[in-house]
Structure 1
Amino acid sequence: MTGLLAASTSTSDKRKAFRAGLASGRIQRIPGAFNPLVARLIQEIGFDGVYVSGAVVSADLALPDIGLTTLTEVAERGRQVARVTDLPVLIDADTGFGEPMSAARTVTILEDAGLAGLHLEDQVNPKRCGHLDGKAVVPAEEMVRRLRAAVSARRDPDFVICARTDAAGIEGIDAAIERAKAYTEAGADLIFTEALHTVADFEKFRAAVDTPLLANMTEFGKSELIPAATLERVGYNAVIYPVTTLRLAMFAAEAGLREIFDEGTQSGLLDRMQHRSRLYELLRYERYNEFDSDIFNFTLGRNQ
């Protein structure tokens, strides 16, 4: 049953792998998974990690990404995803779901859920999507308190605490760089710079900050869609593709539903669907059958 009902890699080993990847000199490519089955696909294809996006958890609940989700909802999705993959899972913890004490509790809950790391952001609570206008950030000192609380609550030293700053689009890149340095002093292991625009912006940030850096390559946002190889050359340690799989799936689902509505049948859609056999392959259906056979392949003797 190893690796069947749950990942075969321990949470501790996944966290160690995440830290080793960030220090490897090779950019860690981390797509978002909108459900556990997508996480399994991400692993099979060969990526370095899995991301759980707050925007995706919100959208999955038919809510906008404005801080309406709860710690319980986010932690449960993180637990579901982390359970099925041997890859480290990084999760979006928004602003920590409250005051610094809440950020501290968030760390303990997400550690217990099997995540490899989380990121906290410096937006005002309730937050907005990082690529929308109208964002506001808290004073740097308040975010430092948020981070110090989070770091103080960490029990596993390999659990990665990432600090996200949204200040570049509000206060400018220089201010965001100063915040990143302060957040590193507060104990952040990784810095997430949101909504930089160009390769030159990413280069400027890298040149000024020694801490490992994470880039966000989300579609239809403020940032150019920069190839991973370019980000690696610039010196970034990780890149997330947070909403990509949800956007792909929702586009396909909408197109298919409209065709069924118009045509009255899905027969013209079959070549655009994942086949039953491929789904069963991802689910490891045969291994479950083998397990059942191994358990039930005995015969009870007659009572004499």
Structure 2
Amino acid sequence: MQYQPKSAVINRPERSSGSSLSQILRDEICSNSALSFLMEAHDALSGAIAKRAGFKSLWASGLSIASSLGYRDANEASWSQLVDVVERIVDSTELPVLVDGDGGFGNFNNARLLARKLHQRRAAGIALEDSCFPKINSFVGDRHPLADVNEFSGRLRAVKDTVADDLVLVARTEALIAGQGMDEAILRASAYAAAGADAILIHSSKTTAEEVLSFAAAWQHRLPVVIVPTKYYRTPVSAYRDAGISTVIWANHSMRSAIAAMMNVCGRIIAEESIAGIEPDIARLDEVFDLLRYDELADAEMRYLHLP
């Protein structure tokens, strides 16, 4: 059955409290409801902030997690480090998390191991890209070799056979990033759909959305289309709704905003040799305590901690 594009309806259906996180994410990406938005999280704190802001699902960004660990987005962080961070994000938010799994950290065996471990840590989905190992960030340099179509399809099948529908499987093609053109992007997306992908993520480094919108038109809704408008951020969201795009990922903005804020504060403190000037511009301690629910701990002490 062909995927039916989402309408421009803004109100989403009510979530079932009994739904699994993976089913909630599947409803977000694959249902015919409104355009979905996933916010980047790179640790438990950024996940909690995104939840407080109102986001219903999260993107565990490979770039952002690697950066928060002091690594480059070039498979320098290990899959086990990624899995540990995802576990903390899920625990702190109880939201569905779609994990940026890069290319799966190797061949089919590495990819299925990663998927199994993510499922154990309650991730809701995994996105795998058709890059070679080790990968390099899509926006760094101009050399982005693609994996063989059949080999990458094998990675997808291995993941699907391992976790079935317990994880939403998003297949990401870097064909446009690599300069291979629209025909190659459609060919690869078709192969990945046949391999069991639940959705296709089409990536572009252009500063306009022309490529991804052209892909969506040519793809004709065979599977839901996911996009990451990091470079073409000026495009209005209405264009994605009109094109029948399923999901938009705001992929690295919490990490980048945190870097900008911390650089500003650290620079001012060392220059002014004082914190008096920056206090009005940073979060108050009571905001920190509220975000992390210190009140719940106090209530629990009243129930459980019987002091003499």
Q: Is the 8 A contact 1:78 1:91 kept in 2?
A: yes
Q: Tell me how far apart the structure 1 counterparts of residues 143 and 99 of structure 2 sit (CA, whole Å).
A: 24
2:211 maps to what in 1?
A: 201
Q: Tell me how far apart the structure 2 counterparts of residues 195 and 71 of structure 1 sit (CA, whole Å).
A: 25
TM-score by length of 2: 0.88
Q: Tell me how far apart the structure 2 counterparts of residues 278 and 125 of structure 1 sit (CA, whole Å).
A: 42
Q: State the 1:10 CA deviation.
A: 8.3
Q: State the 1:158 CA deviation.
A: 4.0
Q: State the 1:11 CA deviation.
A: 9.6
1:20 maps to what in 2?
A: 27
1:100 maps to what in 2?
A: 108
Q: Tell me how far apart the structure 1 counterparts of residues 43 and 69 of structure 2 sit (CA, whole Å).
A: 12
What one-letter code is carried by the residue in structure 2 that aligns with 1:21? Answer: E
1:5 maps to what in 2?
A: none
Q: State the 1:32 CA deviation.
A: 0.7
Aligned residue pairs total 287
Q: Tell me how far apart the structure 2 counterparts of residues 11 and 206 of structure 1 sit (CA, whole Å).
A: 33
Q: State the 1:93 CA deviation.
A: 0.8
2:71 maps to what in 1?
A: 63
Q: Is the 8 A contact 2:204 2:212 kept in 1?
A: no
Q: Tell me how far apart the structure 2 counterparts of residues 11 and 246 of structure 1 sit (CA, whole Å).
A: 32
Q: State the 1:232 CA deviation.
A: 2.2
Inter-CA distance 24–272: structure 2 relative to 1 (3 Å threshold): farther
Deviations 1:206-233 (A, max 9, x none): 1222211111122xxx434433333222
Q: Is the 8 A contact 1:96 1:103 kept in 2?
A: yes
Q: Does 1:116 find its partner at 2:124?
A: yes
What one-letter code is carried by the residue in structure 2 that aligns with 1:17? Answer: I
Secondary structure of the residue aligned to 1:277 is helix
Structure with bigger gyration radius:
1
Secondary structure of the residue aligned to 1:90 is strand
Unaligned runs of 5+ in 1: 1-8, 300-304
Q: Tell me how far apart the structure 1 counterparts of residues 81 and 56 of structure 2 sit (CA, whole Å).
A: 25
Q: State the 1:66 CA deviation.
A: 0.9
1:127 maps to what in 2?
A: 135
Q: Is the 8 A contact 1:18 1:116 kept in 2?
A: yes
Q: Does 1:166 find its partner at 2:178?
A: no
- The 4+ residue runs of structure 1 with deviation greater than 6 A are none
Q: Where in structure 2 are the equivalents of 1:104-253 lying within 5 Å?
A: 104-132=112-140, 133-155=142-164, 157-170=165-178, 171-195=180-204, 197=206, 198-209=208-219, 210-218=222-230, 222-253=231-262
Q: Does 1:293 find its partner at 2:302?
A: yes
Q: State the 1:196 CA deviation.
A: 5.2
Q: Does 1:267 find its partner at 2:287?
A: no
Q: Is the 8 A contact 1:43 1:86 kept in 2?
A: no
Q: Tell me how far apart the structure 2 counterparts of residues 193 and 11 of structure 1 sit (CA, whole Å).
A: 32
Percent identity, aligned pairs only, is: 26
1:4 maps to what in 2?
A: none
Q: Is the 8 A contact 1:27 1:228 kept in 2?
A: no
Q: State the 1:174 CA deviation.
A: 2.0
Q: State the 1:298 CA deviation.
A: 7.2
Q: Where in structure 2 are the equivalents of 1:40-59 lying within 5 Å?
A: 40-59=48-67
What one-letter code is carried by the residue in structure 1 that aligns with 2:87? Answer: R
Q: State the 1:40 CA deviation.
A: 1.5
Q: Is the 8 A contact 2:138 2:177 kept in 1?
A: no
- Report the RMSD for the aligned CA atoms in angstroms: 1.8
Q: State the 1:142 CA deviation.
A: 1.5
Q: State the 1:285 CA deviation.
A: 1.0
Greater alpha carbon shift after TM alignment, 192-201 vs 138-147: 192-201
TM-score by length of 1: 0.89
Inter-CA distance 277–75: structure 2 relative to 1 (3 Å threshold): same
Inter-CA distance 74–11: structure 2 relative to 1 (3 Å threshold): farther
